Amino acid sequence: MNFSEVFKQSNQLCKVSPDGKYLATCVQYRLVVRDIGTLQIVHLYTCLDQVMHMEWSSDSLFILCAMYKRGLVQVWSLEQPDWHCKIDEGSIGLVSSRWSPDGRHILNTTEFNLRITVWSLCTKSVSYIKYPKACQKGMDFTADGRYMALAERRDCKDYISVFVCDDWHLLRHFESETQDLAGLEWSPNGCVLAVWDNCLEYKILLYSLDGRLLSFYSAYEWSLGIKSVAWSPSSQFLAIGSYDEKVRILNHITWKKITEFEHPATITNSKAVVFKEVEKRPVVSEDLSIRQLTVDNALFSTQSKYEITQLPVQVPVVKPDPERANPKIGISAVAFSADNRYLATKNDNMPQSLWVWDMQKFSLLAVLEQTAPVRCFVWDPHLPRLALCTGNTKLYMWSPAGCISVTVPVEGFQVQSLFWHCTGSSLVLLSKDQLCLCYTDAEEQK
């Protein structure tokens, strides 16, 4: 495993182009585009203010930089460096900006979710979508980029609008049977829309593309409900993580529950492997010399390794504060591996543990018990391997073969977040103000 040199970044703004050729980073008000192979700067753009949000267009030709404070969006072209575009949302303010899937339209959400402005780069035209709902995930595009589902709120009722992204034609508009819609997500094949209620009620609704209600599912009542939802890449399963610390898997034919995964505080499942991260602080020898200090900079960083612990294992549990809203309990993150075989989950009141489930046997496969709370975990886009970070100087990876922990060989680099290159050949690690590339299969390349 090799690591690149370290580059600066701000606001964790660092994106790899969808074609995988370029790496764009924002440093204050500058946008830097590098070649991913050489890491040489290809382009350098200067924005009007500190960039708050940055996004590649789907064809990797344009980069959008949003400056929410100023209500400004600037678009840069990779092909024509002197081409520029500036969108000013005016006095109404801007809270979110994104590309449409075709890469020729920009959707800006104004403050108070007053409206969504759709700017076209082709015709310079502008159109509005009124009454968007301010919620967890109120807008979603299908994977093929053809349709957009948008949650709306009118007359104290939830509505869903399905737009054709080509010409923003409103294809369907229907009322959803939710009390307070919290999110919606297209299935990867773009034919089913999962819509879930907010946490006060466990309710998930499944709509067809043409607005028919296919099915709905409710596991229980009178308790905090859904916290996270994830489709499997094959659209075969729908995983629902909830506040009762369980993940329920629905199937795509009957939309009934196939199984549920519990996250018990004591793991007794004999088929599961529990990897426990063990830290080893280096023993400072008495004849501590300057040379040692300078050469061996690992002296100050702790080494860690995984140990397979004997069952049963007690998982460290954090008791949530019942007085506060959004209690730290329940499944906050669910993610399927690219081959649909594994499911990774994180339970908020067990922040140091990451659970990996086998989706063929519907059983617990592995539990990674870290020394620090898990910050972020991402599946490789092609292989069944999982990268995670816990906000320390190490990068952790899980694969069915086992677990590894790698210390980033950069002093003071604390991995806050990470994401995979679209080929899976490298990982981009982000610290608070730095970034670093990690080549996972460097040997193969050589």
Partner 1 sequence: MGDWWSPAMMPDPTLDTKELSSISGISMSPSRQNSQHSLHSTMVLPKSTYSVLSAFCTEENISQCVTYINQEVCSLGLSAVSVECKSGSVSAVPVLNLLYEVLQLQRRAQRGLQELETQQIKNCSDLEHLQNNNCRLKDQLEHTRRENSGLHEGERQLQLKIKTLQNCLKSEKEEVQKLQSIISSRATQYNHDLKRKERDFTKLKDRLNQLLMDKRDKKLSIEVSNYVGRSDGKRGLWKTGKMEARHEGEMYKALLTDYEARQRSLMLENSELKKVLQHMKKDMIAILSPKKPCVKAELADDSLEQAGSECEDEAGESSRETLEQSCEQAREQLTNSIRLQWRKLKSHMERLDSQASLVASQEREAEELISRKEQEEELQRMRLELQQCKEFIHMQQQLLQQQISSPCDEETAALLNDCYTLEEKERLKEEWRLFNEQKRNFERERKNFTEAAIRLGHERKVFEEDRAAWLKTQFLNMTPFVDRKRPALSEPHSALSVGTEPEAKLHLTPPLFTKSLSNSVFCTPKAAPVKMPTTADLYRTLNLIPESRGQGKCQSAEMLSRSRLRNSSSDCSVISLVRDENGSV
Provide the binding-site residues for partner 1, judged by CB under 8 A: 58-59, 62, 71, 77, 82-92, 102-104, 112, 114-115, 119, 121-124, 126, 130-131, 146-147, 153-156, 164, 166-167, 169, 171, 189-191, 208-210, 253
What minimum distance in Å lies between the beta carbon of 253 and partner 1?
8
Query: How near is the Cβ of 412 to partner 1 at its closest, in Å?
Result: 42
CB of 322 vs partner 1, minimal distance in Å = 18
| Tally: H helices and E strands in the chain | 2, 40
CA-CA distance, 74 to 108, in Å (whole number)? 12
First to last CA, the chain: 12
Alpha carbons 78 and 125: distance in angstroms, whole number: 22
Asked if 241 contacts 345 with a C-beta cutoff of 8 angstroms, the reply is: yes
| Min dist. Cβ of residue 122 to partner 1 (A) | 5
Give the shortest CB-240-to-partner 1 separation in angstroms.
Answer: 21
Output the smallest distance, CB 328 to partner 1, in A. Answer: 25
Read off the tokens for 402: 């086992």
**Which residue type does 49 have?**
D
The residue (of 103 and 330) whose beta carbon lies closer to partner 1 is 103
Question: Looking at 263-310, which runs of residues are DSSP E strands?
Answer: 266-267, 273-280, 303-309
Complex with partner 1: residue 112 or 362, whichever CB lies closer: 112
Which amino acid, residue 327? P
Amino acid identity at 373:
P
Torsion on CA atoms 319, 325, 329, 334, rounded to nearest 10: -160
- Token digits for 61? 């030709």
| Residue 375 beta carbon to partner 1: minimum distance, rounded to whole angstroms | 35
Q: Give min distance, CB of 275 to partner 1, in A.
A: 36
Question: Under 8 Å CB-to-CB from 239, ≥6 apart: which residues?
Answer: 229, 230, 231, 232, 247, 248, 249, 334, 336, 343, 345
Q: Is the Cβ of residue 152 or residue 380 nearer to partner 1 in the bound state?
A: 152
Nearest CB to partner 1, comparing residues 131 and 216: 131
Residue whose CB is less far from partner 1, 119 or 196: 119
Residue 253 or 401: which CB sits closer to partner 1?
A: 253
Residues in the chain: 446
Residue among 73 and 397 whose Cβ is closer to partner 1: 73
Closest to 216 measured CA to CA, from 228, 201, 227? 201
The answer to whether 236 touches 252, Cβ cutoff 8 Å, is yes
Nearer to partner 1, 89 or 277 (CB): 89
Cis peptide bond prior to 132, omega within 30° of 0: no
